[in-house]
């Protein structure tokens, strides 16, 4: 019991530190580096860039953890460096996907009319990130064990359900004049944010947010 409490406390501290670092990085990115470039863009673009930073940070942290297993065992919520070595391919694939999606989302957010990034570049970067993510999933699918496959399908199911229900209800409210639909950048940000939430729900339901 005491060991379990210590384990929970350690994971909680890691999650807390990760949340603080992520929030600080996003705040600095939006108000500092990306702030001047997003000036004049709508709130949807800011939200899209913010989620892009979150995806990018996730990919960066996981990638570093996979590249340096001893460090990853301390930073990531895994049983130990053995888990990282056993699941290196899957974790690196996820890291590359998140990093690519993050970069694509930021470039797309900066590609609004009159933005600093040409529209074709932003659309191409985001489209390539989506294509790369799909290809990584397809190529690695046969290497997934039952847990990875089930989590992937559950993440897609939860994300799709959250996206559909949110857009349908929001659209209904907009239809009767009680709400305003998001702009295109906000729509992309909403979809990507809800998919991320769906992934956390699927992982959390299997008790994998906290190692026991």
Q: Tokens 């989302």 appear where?
A: 105
- pLDDT tens digits along 172-207: 999 999 999 999 999 999 999 999 999 888 877 766
Evaluate whether residue 91 is within a structural domain: yes
Evaluate whether residue 212 is within a structural domain: no
Structurally, how many domains does the chain consist of?
1
Q: Tokens 């932003």 appear where?
A: 122
pTM of this prediction?
A: 0.80
CA distances from residue 35 to 55, 99, 128 in whole angstroms, order as listed: 18, 20, 25
H-only helix segments in 29-118? 35-38, 43-67, 69-75, 81-86, 88-109
Evaluate whether residue 210 is within a structural domain: no
Distance (Å, whole) CA 190 – CA 9: 32
Domain membership of residue 28 as a residue range: 2-205
Q: What is the mean pLDDT of residues 160-176?
A: 96
Distance (Å, whole) CA 174 – CA 195: 22
Q: Is 25 helix (H, G, I), strand (E, B) or coil?
A: helix
Say what the pLDDT of residue 24 is. Answer: 60
Distance (Å, whole) CA 87 – CA 203: 16
Residue 1 pLDDT class (50, 70, 90 cuts): very low
- pLDDT tens digits along 52-84: 988 998 888 888 887 777 666 666 655 566 666
């Amino acid at each position: 019991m005491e060991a379990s409490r210590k384990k929970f406390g350690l994971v909680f501290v890691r999650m807390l530190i990760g949340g603080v670092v992520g929030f600080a990085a996003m705040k600095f990115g939006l108000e500092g580096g990306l702030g001047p470039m997003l000036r004049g863009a709508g709130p949807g673009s800011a939200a899209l860039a913010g989620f892009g930073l979150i995806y990018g940070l996730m990919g960066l942290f996981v990638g570093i953890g996979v590249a340096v297993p001893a460090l990853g065992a301390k930073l990531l919520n895994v049983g130990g460096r053995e888990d990282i070595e056993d699941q290196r391919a899957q974790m690196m694939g996820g890291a590359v996907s998140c990093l690519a999606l993050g970069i694509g989302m930021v470039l797309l957010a900066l590609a609004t009319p009159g933005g600093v990034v040409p529209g074709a570049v932003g659309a191409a970067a985001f489209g390539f990130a989506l294509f790369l993510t799909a290809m990584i999933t397809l190529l690695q699918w046969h290497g997934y064990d039952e847990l990875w496959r089930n989590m992937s399908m559950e993440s897609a199911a939860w994300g799709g359900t959250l996206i559909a229900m949110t857009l349908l209800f929001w659209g209904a409210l907009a239809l009767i004049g009680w709400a305003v639909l998001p702009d295109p950048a906000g729509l992309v940000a909403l979809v990507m944010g809800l998919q991320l939430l769906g992934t956390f729900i699927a992982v959390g339901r299997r008790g994998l947010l906290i190692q026991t």
